Amino acid sequence: MNIKNDCKCLIEYKLRSAVMAYKTIPGTRRAQKTVHWLLHLIALLAGVIGIYAVFKFHHESGIPNMYTLHSWLGMITICLYGLQWLLAFFSYVFPGAEMSARGSFLPWHSFFGLVIFFLAICTAETGLVQKFIFLGLFRDQEALIVNFTGLLILLFGISVGLTVVLPTT
In tens digits, the chain (169 residues) has pLDDT values of: 455 565 556 566 566 677 777 777 788 888 888 888 888 888 899 889 989 999 999 999 999 999 999 999 999 999 999 999 999 988 888 776 788 888 888 889 989 999 999 999 999 999 999 988 888 877 788 888 888 999 999 999 999 889 888 887 6
Q: If we measure between CA atoms, which residue out of 95, 93, 97 comes closest to residue 85?
A: 93
pLDDT at 1: 45
Q: If we measure between CA atoms, which residue out of 123, 159, 108 comes closest to residue 12?
A: 123
**Of all helices (H) and strands (E), which one includes residue 102?**
helix 99-134
pLDDT at 122: 94
Integer Cα distance of 163 and 18 in angstroms? 12
> Do 70 and 127 touch, CB atoms closer than 8 A?
yes
pLDDT at 135: 83
